[in-house]
């Protein structure tokens, strides 16, 4: 089946590239499984401080789910439910990663591609990019769990616009809604993203983990996440990195964090 996820890790930054150029980086079943496998493996790694997800080339972050899968994987109600579980599993796995995740959006970010971008903690976009969720043009029901994810990122009015009209939501409008954290010209967006990624990767990993858990707990109201956030906060406060951060501040130098 067409499509793959290219993954590299260097300097604390994991880079994931949706690679299916003949279909504008549409996400196949195999690619959803690869995303879940990455998240499962990366959750235990200490050499990754931040991950960035993008599409290959400049034309699309992703054109959505690979519709060539639908005749076999989503041909009836039972298949649709199984496919939704596959997508939800990958998106939830990315959300649960212990480090921040960033979507770098160029060109089209459509359907399941928009859901995947919404699964990341931050979004950086070229100012000519756009989001769209054309479920109403396909006649398919949208998983309520995914709807909740879109709602958290795009807000109630942005979500209504995306779903009711099935029209494009320009990245500039998404930025105004708070769904996109930074926009830049197509020529400058890669450099803008790299600056943000570098900044994140230089910060204390235990603090990043604790902050991400606390934010997710506040968003979802999940008691288990709140308990995890409290433990992670206590761990950060007792860490060598906290002592290093205090020393570096007093000595007016950049801290050297070890993640311990």
The pLDDT value recorded for residue 231 is 96
Buried/exposed 52-76: b ≥16 CB within 10 Å, e otherwise: bbbbbeeebbbbbbbeebeeebbee
Q: Which two tokens stand for residue 106?
A: 């160029």
Q: What is the pLDDT of residue 237?
A: 96
C-alpha 161, offset from chain centre: 21
Residue/partner pairs of 187-194 with CB below 8 Å, 24 or more apart: 189/104, 189/106, 189/124, 189/125, 189/126, 189/127, 190/104, 192/124, 193/52, 193/102, 193/104, 193/124
- Which CATH class name applies to 4-201? alpha beta
Low-confidence ranges of the chain (pLDDT < 70): 1, 69-79
- pLDDT recorded at residue 12: 95
pLDDT at 73: 56
Report helix, strand or coil for 133: coil
Where along the chain do its domains lie? 4-201, 205-250
* DSSP per residue, 159-195: HHIIIII---EEHHHHHHHTS-SEEE-TTTHHHHHHH
Across the beta sheet with 169-170, the strand order is 60-62, 108-110, 130-132, 169-170
- pLDDT of 186-203, one tens digit each? 999 999 999 999 999 999
Q: Could you tell me the pTM of the whole model?
A: 0.93
What would the two tokens of residue 241 be?
């990195």
The predicted pLDDT at position 50 comes to 98
pLDDT of residue 226: 95
What local confidence, expressed as pLDDT, does residue 69 receive?
66
For 114-150, letters b (16+ CB in 10 Å) and e give: bbbbbbbbbbbbbeebbbbbbbeeeebebbeebbebb
- Edge-first strand order for the sheet with 50-55 is 4-10, 13-19, 50-55, 101-105, 122-126, 182-184
pLDDT of residue 66: 82
Phi, psi dihedrals of residue 10, rounded to the nearest 5°: -155, 135
Give the β-pairing of 101-105 and 50-55.
parallel
């Amino acid at each position: 089946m067409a499509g793959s996820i290219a993954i590299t890790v260097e300097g604390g930054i994991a880079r994931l590239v949706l690679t299916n150029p003949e279909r504008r980086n549409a996400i196949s079943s195999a690619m959803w499984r690869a995303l879940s496998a990455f998240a499962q493996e990366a959750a235990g790694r200490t050499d990754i401080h931040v991950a960035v997800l993008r599409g290959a080339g400049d034309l699309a972050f992703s054109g959505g789910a690979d519709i060539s899968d639908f005749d076999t994987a989503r041909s009836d109600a039972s298949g649709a439910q199984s496919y939704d579980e596959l997508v939800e599993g990958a998106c939830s796995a990315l959300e649960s990663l212990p480090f921040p995740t960033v979507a770098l959006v160029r060109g089209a970010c459509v359907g399941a591609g928009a859901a995947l971008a919404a699964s990341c903690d931050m979004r950086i976009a070229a100012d000519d990019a756009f989001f769209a969720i054309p479920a109403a043009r396909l006649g398919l029901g949208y998983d309520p769990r995914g709807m909740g994810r879109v709602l958290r990122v795009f807000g109630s009015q942005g979500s209504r616009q995306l779903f009711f009209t099935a029209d494009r939501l320009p990245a500039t409008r998404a930025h105004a809604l708070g769904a996109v954290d930074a926009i830049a010209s197509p020529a400058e967006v890669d450099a803008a993203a790299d600056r943000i990624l570098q900044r994140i990767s230089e910060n204390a990993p235990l603090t990043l983990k604790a902050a991400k858990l606390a934010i997710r707990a506040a968003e979802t109201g999940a008691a288990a996440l709140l308990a995890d956030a409290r433990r992670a906060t206590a761990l950060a406060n007792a860490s060598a990195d906290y002592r290093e951060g205090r020393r570096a501040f007093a000595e007016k130098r950049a801290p050297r964090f070890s993640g311990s």
